[in-house]
Amino acid sequence: MPDRYEEAYTRSIDDPDGFWGEVAEDITWIKKWDKVLDDSNTPFYRWFSGGVVNTCYNAVDRHVEAGRGDQAAVIYDSPITGGTIRTYTYRELQDLVARFAGVLAGAGVAKGDRVIVYMPMIPEAVIAMLACARIGAVHSVVFGGFASNELAVRINDAQPKVIVSASCGIEPGRVIPYKPLLDGAIDMAEAKPEKTVIVQRPEAPCELTAGRDLDWAEAMASAQPHDCVPVEATDPLYILYTSGTTGIPKGVVRDNGGHMVALKWTMKNIYNVEPGDVYWAASDVGWVVGHSYIVYGPLLHGCTTIVYEGKPVGTPDAGAFWRVISQHKVKVLFTAPTAFRAIKRDDPDGKLIGDYDLSGFQALYLAGERTDPDTLEWAQTKLDRPVIDHWWQTETGWAIAANCMGLHPYPVKPGSPTKAAPGWDLRVLNDENEEVPRGDIGAICVKLPLPPGTLPTLWNNDERYVESYLDEFPGYYMTADAGFMDDDGYVYIMARTDDIINVAGHRLSTGGMEEVLARHPDVAECAVIGVADQLKGQLPVGFICLKAGVTKSNDEIISDVVRMVRDQIGAVAAFKQAVVVERLPKTRSGKILRGTMQKIADNQDYKTPATIDDPAILPEIEDALETIGYAKARAQAAAS
């Protein structure tokens, strides 16, 4: 039997024009492209230049026109609101999206304008995104857990004409009013939106600002449906902000044409689903997984997608995922390893799995952080299904490495997301930009050009795009992950090479947290590291050096900075632990040795760096970590 993965991979690298040009025939084009790969302005490659298209048409309208308007497009499942379930057919979705596109147009939004979507996991978030795509506006979804100042930074960068939000978000045991956060962000921001559109949720209705705020339901009742607007394939579809090492977020841009081509291709070739299948990405629309695999990928392929407003545990128990899979006949689930660590913690024997009919469930995909072998083995054993780890980033939009189940399934190797996906010319490099031997750890990079669907640049910042991703390894995209490839071509991701940590699948900047800690009037110096956590993958821990003459107690200051991070970055940061130290370990040039501190906290062997200013400080760091439970584990391990 021929290896269809090897055939596809080889052709995608040797003949990208032929490979992706053929794949692109699955998309409906208003005008075909002039060039598949436009390399006339390297390193700013463009895919399908000259093509004219509309993403919303391909995700919604064409399925209705093909006679599948009565098929379920979106299932909203909300255990957090007492078990709300609503199904939207493709025909109903088309009507709602066209009408909300009319609302946006009536508020002055036109092709190329930006719209920020600051929403909980409700169907209106999906409708708003698709409505932007329908009229050629550029949406930027901001996760509802972010605080006002984080939202304000994104408002200033995107300069939206309209912001779409809701009166509140809902978490287990509490309601989070969004409107005060939104109002605070608009007050802080220099760029002011002309209008906001607010979904009033019964759990916490809000006051609307006269002349600026529109009620979603009222606006929809009088809206005129809007047709799809033709856009260039290279026009931006969305901006999604990701953490930057400076604490200033980077606006990742996604285009219309290449994005559709790549995502639709992945649905069959990576996830092995067909049109009409139920595909569930248990994520949030605020993250890249939500963009790619709650909204665009499944709908482009004609699948049924699930918008789940709940948790893997606690809504009501660790059987929540199995209930959704059984009730909605889910074929493929895609979630983060964190979710399965939580399920395993609450139901270690997997007893709740037996309460549900999972006969139609075919595969589990994990991504967002490294899948530890224990979680992988537990899921495989309890589910008796393929469990597929795959690796990608906000910047890439889809999997860099995956077990392509629709092409040629490979044996799973715990700790590896299998092989580079077609289109990804993956290399492991040393500091001299040379490939290292198989099995040696190096910087994992992608030889340019990147495949379709990836970021062509950063929003209004070509210079930062080159500086952040292309300068360090000329001719390559730097993933900022370190790892190796084995003799079979399997990829292993071992660590980040910058200060981005991964908390429950959410990439967060420790630099951004340090900026918050440094604002405390009693803090002279600080550092934040990510330490390994069995449930969330990583958790941030702060180290604080105090100014002379401080009268507050250490506990008071730690309480202050924990609250500050929650207020200024959000609960998503999960910043709960900090420790006061006399000094921080540094190199002679003044660089804080965060990597060494992290190894101490993670109970890993480390060598005292040759460049350290004072080696005697490391035992002090061990002692400090012991007070919050980290170095203690190290000492116990050494004793045993």
Tell me what pLDDT residue 504 has: 80
Same domain, residue pair 443 and 564: no
Residues 277, 233 within the same domain = yes
Q: What is the pLDDT of residues 380-389, one digit of tens each?
A: 999 999 999 9
The pTM of this model reads 0.85
Average pLDDT over residues 365-372: 81
Instruction: Assess contact for 329 and 306: CB atoms under 8 A.
Output: no
Of the candidate ranges 202-206, 216-220, 368-372, the one whose mean pLDDT is the lowest: 368-372
Question: In the predicted model, what is the mean pLDDT of the chain?
Answer: 92
Q: Is residue 343 part of a domain?
A: no
Q: Which two tokens stand for residue 309?
A: 């407003």
Closest CA to 258 of 289, 231, 227, 288: 231
Q: What is the CATH number of the domain that holds 631?
A: 3.30.300.30
**In this predicted structure, what is the pLDDT of residue 590?**
58
Same domain? For 470 and 505 the reply is: no
pLDDT confidence of residue 640: 43
Kindly tell me the sign of the dihedral angle through the C-alpha atoms of 184, 187, 188, 190.
Answer: positive
CB 266 within 8 A of CB 297: yes
Average pLDDT of the residues in 55-62: 98
Confidence (pLDDT) at 639 = 47
Q: Is residue 424 in some structural domain?
A: yes
Same domain, 403 and 285: yes
Same domain, 156 and 289: yes
Out of 478, 511, 526, a domain closes at 478
Whether 549 and 444 map to the same domain: the answer is no
Could you tell me the residue range of the domain that residue 458 belongs to?
Answer: 4-310+390-478
Do 555 and 471 belong to one domain? no
Least confident of 132-141, 216-225, 327-336, 584-593: 584-593
Mean pLDDT in residue range 282-303? 96
Q: Which three-class secondary structure state does DSSP give residue 383?
A: helix
The pLDDT confidence band at residue 146, using thresholds 50, 70 and 90, is confident
Residue 372 counted as domain residue: no
Q: What is the DSSP string of 243-274?
A: --TTSSPEEEEEESHHHHHHHHHHHHHTT---
**H or E stretch at 620:** helix 617-626
588 pLDDT tier (thresholds 50, 70, 90) = low
Token pair for 517: 């800690």
For residue 516, pLDDT over 90 is answered with no
Say how far apart CA 252 and CA 178 lie, in whole Å.
24
Q: For residue 397, is pLDDT > 90?
A: yes
The Cα–Cα gap between 551 and 263 comes to 57
Token pair, residue 196, equals 């906001």
Domain count, the chain: 2
If asked whether residues 426 and 528 sit together in one domain, one would say: no
